[in-house]
Amino acid sequence: MAKRLFDILVSLSVLLFGAPVLLLLCLAVRINMGSPIFFRQERPGLNGEIFEIIKFRTMRDAYDQDSKPLPDAERLTKLGRLLRATSLDELPELLNVLKGEMSLVGPRPLLVRYLPLYTPEQVRRHDVRPGITGLAQVRGRNALDWDSKFAYDIEYVDNQSLWFDLRILFETVRAVVKREGISHEGVVTMPRFEGSTAAADQKDQPRD
């Protein structure tokens, strides 16, 4: 209850006092990339229940001659890079927090198509509400490999507390200011998750 109350109070405060900044960001995205201003996508949340995440749009619509979207690196705009580097693109997720779909701190909500690829241990990341920031985000963010990210997610699930959240939020500010771990080597953010090495090792083990 304390964590939920903290989420609501902080989210409301940021949305109310940060309204002028949010309006300026909406205008900037609209001028730079057109409509829609927001990026919406289904993600799995608490207990794997699907919800619609909302973020500021960071990529323009661009297609090749076969009408297929261009790679992310070619669609990401300068404004989009700035929004991602400063995590300002995540601010609309405060609405998800108010609705109870997310928390300020927790494992980041990933793509729905990843659900069948998780090991039983990795599925435990859905035992808590997903967060705008999390332990993995202050321990390397997108510079981490997938197995490391999931390990930090489970560490958070096993040790969650309001004080732990406060510590992660403090470290998030430091990481954003230093712009640490914005992208993975060779890609704009993170490579697609194709299944963990842990799952692969289990699959390759001889069976009785």
Is pTM beyond 0.85? Reply is: no
In this prediction, residue 1 carries a pLDDT of 83
In this prediction, residue 188 carries a pLDDT of 55
Query: In this structure, what token pair is assigned to residue 35?
Result: 């409509």
Q: Whole-angstrom Cα distance, residue 85 to residue 69?
A: 23
The conformation of residue 96, written as its DSSP 8-state character, comes to H
> Residues of the chain whose pLDDT is less than 70?
62-67, 69-72, 179-190, 197-208
In this prediction, residue 207 carries a pLDDT of 36
- The one-letter amino acid code at 57 reads R
Nearest to 143 by CA among 180, 170, 178: 180
In this prediction, residue 156 carries a pLDDT of 95
CA distances (Å), origin 60, targets 32, 73, 85, 92, 106: 9, 11, 17, 18, 29
Distance from CA of residue 30 to its chain's centroid?
22
Rounded to the nearest 5 degrees, what angle is found at the Cα of 131, between the Cα atoms of 128 and 135? Answer: 90
In this prediction, residue 74 carries a pLDDT of 74
Q: Going by C-beta distance under 8 Å and a sequence separation of 6 or more, which residues neighbour residue 208?
A: none
In this prediction, residue 62 carries a pLDDT of 67
